[in-house]
Structure 1
Amino acid sequence: MLTLSTDSGQLHDQQLLKEHRMLSSRSPKGDCCDNAAMESFFHMLKTELTNNRVLHTLKGDRGEILASVEVWCNRQRLHSALGYQAPEEYKSIW
C-alpha cells in the first residue's frame, strides 16, 4: 500500500486516494516543522529532478528517479551543509 503525505486536502482528494488504495499521512494541525527535511527533499525532487513533469508509472519512473538521486544529489548537487560541495567531492577530501 502506498502512503501519500498531504496537507489537510479536500474531500475529493481523499476519495481519489481511497480509489487507488492509498493512505493519506498528515502532520497534526499547527505542526509545520514536523517533517521539514523530507518536505525540502521532495520539493527538490519535484522541481529539480523531474522538472515538474508528471510521472506516469511507479515501476518505470522509479529507476529514473533513483538514478537521478544517485547522480544528481549524491555526486553533483552542491549542499550547503557540506560547505557548498557535492557529497562525492566532500567525501574524497576525507
Structure 2
Amino acid sequence: MPAYRQRLHQSGVVQSMSRKGNCYDNAAMESFFGTLKCEMFHLNKFDTTEALKDALHDYIRYYNVDRIKLGLGGLSPVAYRKQAAAAPA
C-alpha cells in the first residue's frame, strides 16, 4: 500500500475515487471548487491559516445562502430548498 494511502487509513480517512472510466462521479464538487478558486481564492491573499479558514467559512455561507443560481430559478441553494420543502405534495 502506498505511503499516502497508509497514512489516510491510519488517520481514519476514507479515500474517495471515481469509478474507472466515469468522469462524472465528482462533477458537482469539481464545479464548486472551480467556482471557489475563481471567486474567492484567486482574488485574495491569506497571511495565516486562520484567515484562509475564515474566508472559506464565509464563502461557503455566501455560496449556499446568498449567491443566486440561474439553474435554480434565480434562487440561492438554501432558498430553493426552502421553497421546495414548502411546496404542497
- Shorter-normalised TM-score: what interval? 0.5 to 0.7
- Structure having the higher Rg: 2
1:30 aligns with 2:48: no
Unaligned runs of 5+ in 2: none
State percent identity of aligned pairs. 36
CA distance in 1, matches of 2:77, 2:20: 35
Which is richer in helix? 2
Report the Cα offset of residue 52 of structure 1: 5.6
Higher RCO (C-alpha under 8 Å, 6+ residues apart):
1
CA distance in 1, matches of 2:18, 2:76: 31
Write out aligned runs for 1:1-94 (5 A).
Answer: 26-51=17-42, 57-71=48-62, 73-87=63-77, 91=82
Cα deviations across residues 63-91 of structure 1 (Å, max 9, x unaligned)? 111112213x1343221332023346655
Q: CA RMSD in A?
A: 3.6
Which is richer in strand? 1
Unaligned runs of 5+ in 1: 1-17
Task: State the SS of the aligned residue for 2:35.
Answer: helix
Cα deviations across residues 33-87 of structure 1 (Å, max 9, x unaligned)? 010111111111111122365656543301111112213x134322133202334
